[in-house]
Amino acid sequence: MTPTTQPPGASSSPARVVVLVSGTGTLLQALLEACVDPSYGVAVVAVGADRDRIAGLDRARDRGLPTFVVPLREHADRASWDVALAEALAEHRPDLVLSAGFMKILGPAVLGRFVVVNTHPALLPSFPGAHAVRDALAHGVRVSGCTLHRVDAGVDTGPILAQRAVAVLPDDTEESLHERIKAAERELLVQELPRLLGR
Ligand code: GAR
């Protein structure tokens, strides 16, 4: 399906981004800090989640941003959850939806209506899925990293937009490697998002 969202174009007004989170939201925080500068050209207009009481939503509320929560368990099935999420997103008229630590697979109602970009903590197409850092370590890779990619119907299979490599250290744990990857993700996201939005 072709998204019906207006493609981002050259415009003096900031591009509208809705961020989806499921947890801590340090990537969201980095983006919010970048957006303080009007010349950045991007505005986070709302933050959505699949669960309440997470730090990611608190970061948005602290800045007075609108938030919304669409829990899967409150819907009869994934299809109706997907439709409800698409409707919640549409209220904020995003030019782009950013999945930044959102741990649910998006369905056709969302993907058919919006341009969705995801940030993933591995060098895709290696190590897709919810345990990318653990899987990369278990495989013994010496280099991992992060990927910004367009979301399609598969799990982390969409076109790659940008990547950054991160060295794996001999004594790395899943936590230590993920922290260094997240530092790279924050930089990559802040650097690339305006370009992806034509700003
Ligand atoms: C990031 O590493 C992001 O790539 C990952 O969750 C972390 C969120 O960090 N997302 C996935 O693994 C999605 N499959 P944050 O909550 O501190 O922003």
Q: Is there an atom of ligand 1 within 6 Å of 27 CB? A: yes
What is the average pLDDT score of the chain? Answer: 95
Query: What was the pLDDT predicted at 52?
Result: 97
Out of 27, 137, 187, mutate this one to test ligand 1's pocket (max ligand atoms within 8 Å of CB): namely 27
Query: What is the per-residue pLDDT across 34-53, written as a single tens digit (0 to 9) for each?
Result: 999 999 999 999 999 999 99
Find how far residue 2's CA is from the centre of its chain: 20
**What is the average per-residue pLDDT within 57-63?**
98
Q: Are 98 and 18 a contacting pair, CB within 8 Å?
A: yes
Q: Are 85 and 114 a contacting pair, CB within 8 Å?
A: no
Q: Is there an atom of ligand 1 within 6 Å of 29 CB? A: no
pTM: 0.94
pLDDT band at 11 (very low <50, low <70, confident <90, very high): low
Q: Which of 120, 131, 139, 149 is catalytic?
A: 120
**Gap between the Cα atoms of 55 and 36, Å rounded:** 20
| CA of 182, closest atom in ligand 1 | 2
Write the burial class of residue 126 (CB in 10 Å: 0-12 exposed, 13-18 middle, 19+ buried). middle
CA-closest residue to ligand 1 atom 5: 101
φ and ψ of 9, to 5 deg: -125, 180
Annotated active-site residue 92? The verdict is no
Q: Is there an atom of ligand 1 within 6 Å of 185 CB? A: yes
Q: Is there an atom of ligand 1 within 6 Å of 99 CB? A: no
ω into residue 8 within 30 of 0, thus cis? no
Q: Are 163 and 145 a contacting pair, CB within 8 Å?
A: yes
**What is the average per-residue pLDDT within 187-197?**
98
**What is the average per-residue pLDDT within 95-123?**
98
